[in-house]
Structure 1
Amino acid sequence: MFNIENNGSLGKLAILTIMSGGEDEIALKRQGEKFGYRLYKGKVGSMDSAKIFAAVETAAKKEGLIDQRYREEHALYHSVFEAYSGMCRGQIGLGTVLRSAGLLFCIVRGTKLPGNDADGEWIAVALYGNMGAPIKGYEHEVLGLGINPI
């Protein structure tokens, strides 16, 4: 079992949370919260990248992971952008090239390493799911991660 205290980080927690489910996901969230991390996991599907960005931003605001200050919104935007870029393998865009995505997303806010607040707070966004032609069976798995300081 993963132990965040011994080998954890903000990004690793985001990736492991998005890849887990059931009891494993609950255990990861509990471990993260024990060290002051705030997490949210959701899902979004679209052929429009703007809808993916909006879903993550809306969830982050609704769950209190960011507030209305520019620097917090900006850090989240760049984290989503980095995760999205990785997921799209640098080819940004969905609908304009007839691709769709069904994704899980995980937002984690906290220090880079458990209990080490010397660098302040950071925000990580992980995206995981399927992307491909908007025809069932023509998709493949994708994964992206973005991390930025708040």
Structure 2
Amino acid sequence: MIVKISLGRLAILISILSEKEREKMMETGKQEGYRICTGKVGTMNAEKVISAVLTAAKRENLWDAESFREEHALYDATVEALSGICRGQLVLSEVQRTVGLFFTVVRGQMHHARGEWIAVCLYGTIGAPIRGFEHETIGLGINHI
């Protein structure tokens, strides 16, 4: 029996794998019917992380720009992932923190739920704005569309 990889797991794997492995995993996800986009963002502003994710997903047509419902689902998933990165507080510059993140957005069916869902994974580093003072971090947000 072949089991389809789950939406959230796919988003996490694409985010944490090496570039070569990432390409293979993205191809696997696309073959299973998922729509995927990736990108990078480095900033001291939480708003810029949200903007980078939404802009990349819009550029790759992962959500309908005319649909508030779709934009809101992506926004909520992004904020949920960012909340994991920031340990519940959506603040960076205010507490002298900077992030360097790779992000993955995956849209598609969940194996046990009706309708389409969207997952956002943020993976990278967070820390003081001094090289060497950062550590790895990861956040995942999933929302129905």
Alignment partners' CA distance in 2, 1:26 and 1:50: 28
Aligned CA-pair RMSD: 1.2
Which residue is equivalent to 2:34?
37
Which residue is equivalent to 1:106?
104
SS at match of 1:6: coil
Output aligned runs, 1:69-148, within 5 Å. 69-113=67-111, 119-148=114-143
The sequence identity of aligned pairs, in percent, is 52
TM-score (norm 2): 0.94
Structure 1 position 91, deviation (Å): 2.2
Q: Normalized per residue, which structure has more strand?
A: 2
Structure 2: 5+ residue stretches without partners: none
Alignment partners' CA distance in 1, 2:101 and 2:19: 17
Which residue is equivalent to 1:50?
47
Task: Confirm or deny: 8 A CA contact 2:4 2:32 kept in the other structure.
Answer: no
Structure 1 position 7, deviation (Å): 5.8
Structure 1: 5+ residue stretches without partners: none
The answer as to 2:5 corresponding to 1:11 is no
Task: Confirm or deny: 8 A CA contact 2:83 2:89 kept in the other structure.
Answer: yes
Instruction: Point out 4+ residue stretches in structure 1 off by more than 3 angstroms.
Output: none
Alignment partners' CA distance in 1, 2:35 and 2:17: 17
TM-score (norm 1): 0.91
